[in-house]
C-alpha cells in the first residue's frame, strides 16, 4: 500500500510564536495518528519557483491515514493556533509504493 505524505513549504513566517504553538499541538496530533516527521526545517536549496524557507515532510503508512490525521480534531486545533502566523503551501500526497 502506498504511503501518504504531508508536504509543507512555508513561504513566510510572520508570527514565530503562533508557529511554536502550532508545532507543539501538531506534534500531539501527528504522532498518535502514526505520522513520522522526516524533515522539519534544516537546510534547503530551492530551484525554479521554489522558496528556500522552512520545509516539513511527514510520512504516514497510507494516504488515507494522512488525510484522516489532517481532518482530526487534534490537528484542526493546531491549525487554529497557527491561524495567520504563516503563509504556506500544504499538500497531502500519495507515495509511489
What's the pLDDT tens digit per position in 43-94?
A: 989 899 888 889 999 999 999 999 999 999 999 999 999 999 999 999 999 9
Residue 32 burial (10 A CB sphere; 0-12, 13-18, 19+): exposed
- In three-state secondary structure terms, 45 is coil
Integer CA distances (angstroms), 82 to 20, 30, 40, 89, in order: 8, 15, 16, 14
Whole-structure pTM over 0.75, yes or no?
Answer: yes
- Please name which of 60, 35, 47 lies closest in space to residue 9, comparing C-alpha atoms: 47
Model pLDDT, residue 50: 84
Give the mean model confidence (pLDDT) for residues 6-14. 95
- Where helices occur in the chain by DSSP H, the ranges are 16-30, 63-71, 73-82
Using the predicted structure, report yes or no on whether residue 23 has a pLDDT greater than 90: yes
Amino acid at each position: 500500500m502506498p504511503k501518504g505524505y504531508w508536504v509543507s513549504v512555508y513561504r513566510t513566517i510572520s508570527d514565530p510564536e503562533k508557529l511554536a504553538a502550532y508545532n507543539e499541538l501538531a506534534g500531539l496530533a501527528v504522532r498518535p495518528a502514526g505520522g513520522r516527521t522526516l524533515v522539519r526545517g534544516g537546510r534547503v536549496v530551492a530551484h525554479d519557483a521554489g522558496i528556500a524557507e522552512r520545509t516539513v515532510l511527514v510520512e504516514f503508512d497510507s494516504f488515507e491515514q494522512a488525510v484522516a490525521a489532517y481532518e482530526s480534531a487534534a490537528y484542526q486545533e493546531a491549525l487554529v493556533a497557527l491561524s495567520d502566523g504563516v503563509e504556506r503551501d500544504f499538500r497531502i500526497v500519495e507515495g509511489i509504493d
